[in-house]
């Protein structure tokens, strides 16, 4: 029997038959299922685990040479085998004095060359040395990008905009995002902006993403139209003052009319959804908060990168534990969803970021080595969703507590509130924060322990209501607790924690977390539909579908769409 079968058997015969209430009654067990690293505490005592299972996790990790693989990845092997690429987002935050070799070349000098350019450029914008076309200070930044060229940046922006120092650094500045190709998103992004004070960052690794390129063109037109209204028509110079780009495709950024001095490159060894610590994130975030402040995000991420490969004891390695627990819940316990609940309003976009990192990475079943993996290694990436607590409690927690399926939860909290620093009434803020965190602690026990019929009866509940008030409990969760308030350093740690746990799960499942073939088919079909719509711009019935290979149901639907757009 191999180790994953042993784990499955132990779960079937022991843990699945032991209610979390019983597990939690064991003080000795509880003491062992918590660990800390660099200001982060991970408590996994409310998971369906015990010390015996953690020892089995260690055997699993050792037998699959997980740590060697993680080290090899950080050293530049072409782990992304389907695209023949190295996977080195960790190099983006490696200290300058170190080396990382890809194809015989140390990539660290290139990383710092771009970072230095980002620092110089963003400081010149923030200090007013680099100005807009009419010599006004560029106070607004609009980031045009989607998926990995958007979500991670928005998560970090939201996480830091209420941090005391972040507020001071960004005073008088605005950062906005334009991701969706919906024209309404364009209205929202540009609403009430003064073009003379606005800088655009076009973020696209490939510079071919349909949504981003269309939005970039719409914004380019908007800039020119706005300037025309002001009586300025020198298109080349106007655009040079207001457009910047981050991409690996420098040929296309040039064709788009962006001055090469305002283009910041990165490399094919940075996956899109892992690119937030490249110029993709560092450029717009530094425009908003200043380079030195954002550099702390990189330091925090680096701390976790090191911890991942250096801490070989699984019970102490935070990202490895998160990955193992994720694998265990999905592949052994067979839970299909995961709720990510930050008890921190500033993390409101963290679940959206993790949705992409996790589900675009591991939402696949094609094995890298199909013949090597047994059943328990099959990918079973959960469906991820989340909202900040306490809002989520008043939304979907009914299902989490009493629904027919168990949904494991990951709770994230902070010992201190961002609102405390600089507050005129720190005592009142602490009081409010304690109220918030009381819910964080209470939910964990409510989920694990539940409420039995006997307890309901003892409360004197009427007979007909008794079964409505029973909570099954035995619902697992884990808690991440930060020592400090959300700040750039620990936001970088959080980013890296979730990046690496996804990798650990991917390795255990034997899949390649760094490709995303599953998004291609829809893109191709959308292009085909688009050509039908273009061919039938003014045609509101019996559209011409020549060359369009689709079933009649889809054609009928498209016909209705155009018909609805016709005159009433
Ligand atoms: O959704 C597919 C995808 O390729 C993501 O992986 C990526 O983050 C996003 O599109 C945007 O890609 P790009 O940065 O090349 O515009």
DSSP string spanning 431-470? HHHHHHHHHHHHHHHHHHH-B-HHHHHHTT--HHHHGGG-
The H or E element that residue 80 is part of is none
Q: How far is the CA of 521 from the centre of ligand 1 (A)?
A: 14
Question: What is the spatial distance between Cα 443 and Cα 450, in angstroms, rounded to a whole number?
Answer: 10
Predicted confidence (pLDDT) at residue 373 exceeds the cutoff of 90: no
**Three-state SS for 509?**
helix
Question: What is the spatial distance between Cα 496 and Cα 115, in angstroms, rounded to a whole number?
Answer: 19
pLDDT at 374: 64
Residue nearest to atom 9 of ligand 1 (CA): 147
Point out the ligand 1 atom lying closest to the alpha carbon of residue 149.
14
- Local structure of residue 506 (DSSP, 8 states): H
Predicted confidence (pLDDT) at residue 242 exceeds the cutoff of 90: yes
pLDDT at 568: 58
Q: How far is the CA of 207 from the centre of ligand 1 (A)?
A: 9
Task: Kindly state the average pLDDT of the residues 268-295.
Answer: 98
Q: How far is the CA of 226 from the centre of ligand 1 (A)?
A: 30
Point out the ligand 1 atom lying closest to the alpha carbon of residue 206.
15
Point out the ligand 1 atom lying closest to the alpha carbon of residue 211.
16
Q: Which residues contact 419 (CB under 8 A, 6 or more apart)?
A: 162, 429, 432, 433
pLDDT at 379: 79
Q: How far is the CA of 262 from the centre of ligand 1 (A)?
A: 21
Predicted confidence (pLDDT) at residue 386 exceeds the cutoff of 80: yes
Q: How far is the CA of 52 from the centre of ligand 1 (A)?
A: 42
The 10s digit of each residue's pLDDT in 290-342 is 999 999 999 999 999 999 999 999 999 999 999 999 999 999 999 999 999 99
Residue nearest to atom 2 of ligand 1 (CA): 519
Point out the ligand 1 atom lying closest to the alpha carbon of residue 212.
16
**Three-state SS for 88?**
coil
Q: How far is the CA of 211 from the centre of ligand 1 (A)?
A: 10
- Local structure of residue 315 (DSSP, 8 states): G
Instruction: Please name the residue that has the structure tokens 């960052």.
Output: 201
Q: How far is the CA of 525 from the centre of ligand 1 (A)?
A: 17
Question: What is the spatial distance between Cα 143 and Cα 221, in angstroms, rounded to a whole number?
Answer: 16
Task: Kindly state the average pLDDT of the residues 36-61.
Answer: 98
pLDDT at 370: 81
Question: What is the spatial distance between Cα 294 and Cα 156, in angstroms, rounded to a whole number?
Answer: 10
Please choose from 178, 209, 271, 515 the residue to mutate so as to test ligand 1's pocket, defined by most ligand atoms within 8 A of CB: 209
The 10s digit of each residue's pLDDT in 416-459 is 999 999 888 999 999 999 999 999 999 999 999 999 999 999 99
Predicted confidence (pLDDT) at residue 92 exceeds the cutoff of 70: yes
Q: How far is the CA of 143 from the centre of ligand 1 (A)?
A: 14
The overall average pLDDT reported for the chain is 96
Q: Distances in Å between the alpha carbon of 328 and those of 7, 379, 528?
A: 9, 11, 41
Residues with C-beta less than 6 Å from any ligand 1 atom: 146-149, 204-206, 209, 212, 272-273, 360, 516, 519
Point out the ligand 1 atom lying closest to the alpha carbon of residue 516.
6
Please choose from 82, 149, 152, 274 the residue to mutate so as to test ligand 1's pocket, defined by most ligand atoms within 8 A of CB: 149
Predicted confidence (pLDDT) at residue 377 exceeds the cutoff of 80: no
Question: What is the spatial distance between Cα 353 and Cα 56, in angstroms, rounded to a whole number?
Answer: 31
How many other CB atoms are there within 10 angstroms of residue 35's CB atom? 18
Point out the ligand 1 atom lying closest to the alpha carbon of residue 360.
6
Residue nearest to atom 4 of ligand 1 (CA): 272
Prior bond to 194 cis, omega within 30?
no
Give the catalytic positions in this structure: 360, 394, 523
Residue nearest to atom 8 of ligand 1 (CA): 148
Please choose from 245, 272, 514 the residue to mutate so as to test ligand 1's pocket, defined by most ligand atoms within 8 A of CB: 272
Task: Kindly state the average pLDDT of the residues 235-253.
Answer: 95
Residue nearest to atom 3 of ligand 1 (CA): 147
Question: What is the spatial distance between Cα 287 and Cα 281, in angstroms, rounded to a whole number?
Answer: 10
Residue nearest to atom 5 of ligand 1 (CA): 147
């Amino acid at each position: 029997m191999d180790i994953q079968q042993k784990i499955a058997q132990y779960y079937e015969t022991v843990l699945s038959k032991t209610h979390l209430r019983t597990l939690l009654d064991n003080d000795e067990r509880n003491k062992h299922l918590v660990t800390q690293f660099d200001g982060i505490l991970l408590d996994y005592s409310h998971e369906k685990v015990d010390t015996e299972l953690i020892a089995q996790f260690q055997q699993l990790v050792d037998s699959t040479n997980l740590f060697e693989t993680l080290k090899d990845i950080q050293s530049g092997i072409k782990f992304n085998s389907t695209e023949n690429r190295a996977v080195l987002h960790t190099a983006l935050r490696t200290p300058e004095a170190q080396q990382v070799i890809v194809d015989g070349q140390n990539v660290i000098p290139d990383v710092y060359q771009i970072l230095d350019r980002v620092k110089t450029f963003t400081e010149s914008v923030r200090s007013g040395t680099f100005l807009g076309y009419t010599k006004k200070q560029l106070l607004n930044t609009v980031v045009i990008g989607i998926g990995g060229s958007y979500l991670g940046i928005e998560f970090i922006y939201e996480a830091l905009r209420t941090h005391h120092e972040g507020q001071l650094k960004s005073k008088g500045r605005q950062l906005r995002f334009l991701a969706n190709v919906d024209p309404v998103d364009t209205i929202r992004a540009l609403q009430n902006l003064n073009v003379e004070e606005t800088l655009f960052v076009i973020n696209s690794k490939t510079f071919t993403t349909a949504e981003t390129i269309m939005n970039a063109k719409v914004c380019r037109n908007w800039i020119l139209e706005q300037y025309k209204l002001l009586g300025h028509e020198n298109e080349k110079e106007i655009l040079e003052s207001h457009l910047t780009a981050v991409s690996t495709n420098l040929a296309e950024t040039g064709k788009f009319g962006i001055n090469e001095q305002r283009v910041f490159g990165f490399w094919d060894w940075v996956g899109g959804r892992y690119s937030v610590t490249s110029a993709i994130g560092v450029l717009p975030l530094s425009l908003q908060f200043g380079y030195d402040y954002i550099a702390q995000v990189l330091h925090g991420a680096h701390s976790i990168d090191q911890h991942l490969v250096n801490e070989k004891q699984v019970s102490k390695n935070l990202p490895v534990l998160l990955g193992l627990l994720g694998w265990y819940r999905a592949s052994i316990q067979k839970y299909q969803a995961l709720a990510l609940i930050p008890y921190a309003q500033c993390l409101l976009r963290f679940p959206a970021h993790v949705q992409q990192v996790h589900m675009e990475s591991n939402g696949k079943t094609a094995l890298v080595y199909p013949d090597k993996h047994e059943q328990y290694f099959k990918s079973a990436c959960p469906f991820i969703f989340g909202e900040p607590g306490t809002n989520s409690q008043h939304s979907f927690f009914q299902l989490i507590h009493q629904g027919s399926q168990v949904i494991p939860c990951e709770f994230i909290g902070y010992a201190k509130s961002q609102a405390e620093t600089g507050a005129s009434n720190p005592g009142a803020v602490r009081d409010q924060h304690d109220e918030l965190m009381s819910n964080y602690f209470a939910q964990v026990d409510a989920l694990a322990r539940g409420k039995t019929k006997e307890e309901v009866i003892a409360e004197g509940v009427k007979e007909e209501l008794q079964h409505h008030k029973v909570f099954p409990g035995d619902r697992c969760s884990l808690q991440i607790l930060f020592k400090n308030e959300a700040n750039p350093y620990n936001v970088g740690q959080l980013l890296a924690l979730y990046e690496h746990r996804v990798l650990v799960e991917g390795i255990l499942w034997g899949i390649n977390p760094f490709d995303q073939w599953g998004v291609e088919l829809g893109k191709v079909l959308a292009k085909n539909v688009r050509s039908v719509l273009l061919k039938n711009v003014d045609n509101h019935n019996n559209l011409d579908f020549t060359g369009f290979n689709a079933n009649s149901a889809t054609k009928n639907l498209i016909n209705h769409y155009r018909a609805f757009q016709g005159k009433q």
